Structure 1
């Protein structure tokens, strides 16, 4: 088979994981694949020579982005020039829509086939972005089926490929082995507390979660808690919040998957961690709080009836969502208590969703890319 040249750009660690899996699957299907672009260590291990360090694209927050905007725009200009000169058979932008969609638009106008892998949340807010996506992309690859339905409505070529986490996480997790690995009691209820990975999330939800845990302890004597800390900064922040409390709580450095495998139920901030809890089939209560002004703005902009991935995937209110002032310690504890030894409706729904998402995502994505460029 004639060699193919694939250009990819990933902007953060999650994109590096997806990119590495996709490169691997492309090589398995086609053999002679040259990869160029921007990625992290996992993509580099698959043969990518990153044009510049992926970390230069890993910027979060409006103020931080504004501070780095001149550099980001300059890097995108140079990248565009280099990629047009390289004439790849296809360009794949992995997530990072603010950076990649403009790049895709210009590359497509230059006659290069373009793919965007991981849909931005256009179905939830700023829906008019779909018009730019339609102009910029020859193909959208989505991780979730409800996203593909949305793109179909706007005549954007789309393929639902499934989620790599659904492939990686077993359909049945070994709770006993996880508890042994974490040195947790093998018997008795364990609840995972997951108030978020960012400082702002933890500052808004941490005390609420700990108050709820104290109430839950009164309702269910003998209960234990486990909290995976996203990084050393979050651990320090959480330790300070716990200083005056006496909770049977074990803090972990990372190990969120082990914590989910070990627990019976989860009190969790809305975000991607809710998908992991779903895949581990752990009943959950989802909570979220933002700054009052942010909430006021978002409540006008967001079009989706739900905020959590489990409910979006179930297309119904499968898990309770307590948002803003509704997220009180009393309400969280009362809703969580029956889930510690119950939650069968949730877990049954989670199992069905897991099977829907378990599609061998990297292989599906590679197949769709090769079809697009006529090399399948």
Structure 2
């Protein structure tokens, strides 16, 4: 019997993490399985053969996508042709819905079973995408429990698998070592600043976050601040900004270590994004902020239907953490909110309780559950169901 062949495409670094975990879990079930597609370093380390480099697919922003659109369309067309000419037993698209769902639809029409891992944010915007997803995929693997309700109108074959981050946070952290390494020696309160990793986020959020730190330091001089830079390039940008404008701050700039920094912090000022879920799983009080180009904000604000932008609030189905957007991203607005996160003990206790419940809901051994669902799809197809 020939080895099982699995086509798999991850669209960005977060998808590479999901893909690596899924490949590892599938290999436990199918030791001879062969994987090929678009993969990052983690998926490659699990034995996935690369047909197109992941870094060429990881494009953020409307302008950047438009500039690369011809290349991306050519790449997708070549990959679809490859998999139709050499049909895998199953094809798995991981996130990146604008790229992967088109592939899935073409391959499904060609008779190849398709799986989509990570639901697009249909609960927030473009809800009608559920019909396109139904046409494109035989199995949808979702990270959050509330997503099943959104897909009820299409009777989508769906499996809630939980979130891999919940499986490794905080179990992956040596909290004693984190506290010893990151906390101030004198036990002073520690505030983490996480303005994001993308260039646009640094452009719009780094300075207001540092201005807020200055405002906070004026109110409570004993506060200590820590800012993790996502990579060497961001570290150099932030280092220059701090040296030129914020040398007065009691601030430590570190390279990477964002999870350890959040684990050690007493409160966090953070850009909206996946990092807010990490902070939630660590049960940390936070203030969530986001700012973008004015025209882009006007477009997106009309499209978004969700009451909240941050995952902690979406998962709690109530406003557990403040959200500060666009013109309100100022030290006068964010500073008092961070102080409340530091000082309101009743609020902190309630937040930790609710976030603990969320962590339990998401801690489902996601990679294993995803592999189990894929296995069931394969066996049903082989049985002719």
Report SS of the residue matched to 2:133: helix
Structure-2 separation of matches of 1:327 and 1:69? 32
Provide Cα deviations, 1:307-359, integer angstroms capped at 9, x if missing partner.
Answer: 00100111111111111223321221111113225312211111111111111
**For the Cα contact (< 8 Å) 1:172–1:280, is it kept in 2?**
no
Structure-1 separation of matches of 2:169 and 2:311? 17
Which residue number in structure 2 is paired with residue 356 of structure 1? 361
Which residue number in structure 2 is paired with residue 78 of structure 1? 78
Which residue number in structure 2 is paired with residue 271 of structure 1? 273
Distance 1:158 1:240, change over 3 A: same
Structure-2 separation of matches of 1:60 and 1:331? 28
Report SS of the residue matched to 1:354: helix
Deviation at 1:250, TM superposition (A): 0.4
**For the Cα contact (< 8 Å) 2:183–2:190, is it kept in 1?**
no
Which residue number in structure 2 is paired with residue 217 of structure 1? 217
- Equivalent residue pairs, number: 376
Distance 1:38 1:199, change over 3 A: closer
**For the Cα contact (< 8 Å) 1:175–1:261, is it kept in 2?**
yes
Structure-2 separation of matches of 1:67 and 1:46? 32
Distance 1:171 1:345, change over 3 A: farther
Alignment of 1:15-54 (within 5 A): 15-54=15-54
Report SS of the residue matched to 1:340: helix
Which residue number in structure 1 is paired with residue 60 of structure 2? 60
Which residue number in structure 2 is paired with residue 315 of structure 1? 317
Structure-2 separation of matches of 1:16 and 1:336? 33
Deviation at 1:20, TM superposition (A): 1.2
Report SS of the residue matched to 2:5: strand
Deviation at 1:164, TM superposition (A): 0.8
In structure 2, runs of 5+ residues without a counterpart are none
**For the Cα contact (< 8 Å) 1:171–1:279, is it kept in 2?**
no
**For the Cα contact (< 8 Å) 1:189–1:264, is it kept in 2?**
yes
Structure-1 separation of matches of 2:74 and 2:171? 45
**For the Cα contact (< 8 Å) 1:115–1:141, is it kept in 2?**
yes
Deviation at 1:173, TM superposition (A): 5.7
Deviation at 1:175, TM superposition (A): 4.8
Distance 1:66 1:299, change over 3 A: closer
Deviates more, 1:265-274 or 1:207-216: 207-216
Structure-2 separation of matches of 1:217 and 1:353? 32
Which residue of the other structure, out of 242, 249, 256, is the alignment partner of 2:251?
A: 249
**For the Cα contact (< 8 Å) 1:174–1:261, is it kept in 2?**
no
Provide Cα deviations, 1:182-233, integer angstroms capped at 9, x if missing partner.
Answer: 4732612000011111222222222221222122123323110000011223
**For the Cα contact (< 8 Å) 1:176–1:186, is it kept in 2?**
no
**For the Cα contact (< 8 Å) 1:171–1:351, is it kept in 2?**
no
TM-score by length of 2: 0.92
Do residues 178 (structure 1) and 183 (structure 2) align? Answer: no
Which residue of the other structure, out of 338, 354, 379, is the alignment partner of 1:374?
A: 379
Provide Cα deviations, 1:226-263, integer angstroms capped at 9, x if missing partner.
Answer: 00011223222222332232000000111101101111
Structure-1 separation of matches of 2:9 and 2:107? 13
Which residue of the other structure, out of 324, 338, 350, is the alignment partner of 1:345?
A: 350
Structure-2 separation of matches of 1:262 and 1:319? 19
Which residue number in structure 1 is paired with residue 288 of structure 2? 286
Deviates more, 1:180-189 or 1:363-372: 180-189
Deviates more, 1:290-299 or 1:110-119: 290-299
Which residue number in structure 2 is paired with residue 240 of structure 1? 240
Deviation at 1:294, TM superposition (A): 2.0
Distance 1:23 1:173, change over 3 A: closer
Distance 1:186 1:133, change over 3 A: farther
Which residue number in structure 1 is paired with residue 261 of structure 2? 259
Do residues 228 (structure 1) and 228 (structure 2) align? Answer: yes
Provide Cα deviations, 1:257-304, integer angstroms capped at 9, x if missing partner.
Answer: 110111111011111110111111111011111222222222211100
TM-score by length of 1: 0.94
Which residue number in structure 1 is paired with residue 162 of structure 2? 162
Structure-2 separation of matches of 1:12 and 1:297? 24
Report SS of the residue matched to 2:379: coil
